[in-house]
Amino acid sequence: MDGTEDLGSSQSRERFRSDSEAMTRALSLARKGLGSVEPNPPVGAVIVDSQGKLIAEGYHQRYGGPHAEVVALENAASEVRGGTLYVTLEPCSHHGKTPPCADAVIAAGLSKVVIGTMDPAEHVCGQGIERLRAAGIMVEVGVCEPEALQLIAAFKKLQCEKLPYLHAKWAMTLDGRIASRTKASKWISNERSRSIVHQLRGRMDGILTGIGTVLADDPLLTARPQGPRIPTRIVLDRQLRLPLDSQLIRTADDAPVLVFCTDQALEQRIQQVEGLGVEVEVVEIDSQTNQVDLTAVLTELGRRQMTNVLIESGGTLLGSLIDQDCVDEVHCFIAPRIIGGQGAISPILGNGFDTMDQARQLRNSVVEVLDGDVYIRGELIRSGMNQLGSE
């Protein structure tokens, strides 16, 4: 079976006691596709018989490959006619890289389809549901919907806002510092925390940083070991000061490097950097800050269908992105260390907020202890649609 375990005989098949239990299983399957299916959404599917016994399951495993519903149907250990399909996202109704899943579901003779959430994409958005109902299939929408929406948050932002979903990551000491007053920062977090960061990098389309971080740390910004994706290393560099002997340039053949500069960069320098295998994009400069314009940068990344982008930068860039309501998710690692010192460096600068009721909050937050480090992750509640400005 493709991507699932053998379900065995009917006597040993798992039985689900409720719609939410079956959908929870489908959500768990869908998460296996994270990092492999983008810019498509991760989707999981479960098929049960009239008694709620598991017939088949599957998930969307790779971009361009069969969708979850089709995988589940192909994995069926017995007749599915008259059964119920649980799927985390509305079945598609259009011809893309694969035929419409709604048609496959209808042809299989299923009597009911339970859907986690509707597809936000304009070319679907209810049309799959309409096609199923028109064929006489009973359709229920909204089972475990908060979890289903959380699962497709990055896909939804790309579809609806044409922008990448931004993950902010930093490691800091107990007193909230990412480096000492002498700029020492290796290593604040422990080995286990750093391994989580590499896993995170491995499912990103891009890793975004500023030239200040590159000049200070000479980072590599790759996933080690390699994950399902090879992220593009993205540098905001107004005057194109990226050192020619930097690790980023030296490894440009192994993982792409994309630099956004402005017309303040010399044409000769652009040609020199491009000759070393780095892609250079010249974008507008923000007239107020004299920095790379973030609107142009994020719009271009969205145009390139970058779904998830990780921010690994200093406090200036990260603070600006949070000020301007661009960050969607936070990954913060807190080490049980205290640096102290008035000149020690904070993870988030920018303008900040004046009162606690203005402060951005997390939702769906998770806290883990990693060999002493504390890992906090969650969605950053945005005040509204992006109001983008400058770096």
Q: Which residues are catalytic?
A: 69
Task: Please state the residue numbers annotated as binding site for substrate.
Answer: 185, 201, 224, 312
Annotated binding site for Zn(2+): 67, 92, 101
Count Cα atoms within 13 angstroms, Cβ side, for 254.
11
CA distance 160 to 120: 7
**Residue 332 CA to its chain's centroid (Å):** 16
What CA dihedral angle connects 337, 338, 339 and 344, to 10 degrees?
Answer: 110
Q: Which amino acid is at 236?
A: L
As a whole number of angstroms, the distance between CA 77 and CA 46 comes to 12
Alpha-carbon distance 310 to 330, whole Å? 10
Q: What is the dihedral of CA 143, 149, 155, 159, to 10 degrees?
A: 90
Tokens 């979850």 belong to residue: 68
Residues paired with residue 47 on neighbouring β-strands, in sequence order: 56, 85
| Residues placed in the known binding site | 67, 92, 101, 171, 185, 187, 201, 213, 217, 221, 224, 312, 314-320
Three-state secondary structure call for residue 27:
helix
Q: Peptide bond preceding 187: is omega within 30 degrees of 0, i.e. cis?
A: yes
- Using the Cα atoms of residue 13, residue 142, residue 362 and residue 226 in order, give the sign of their dihedral: positive
The residues pairing with 168 across neighbouring beta strands, listed in sequence order, are 311, 330
Look up residue 303 and give its two tokens. Answer: 């145009």
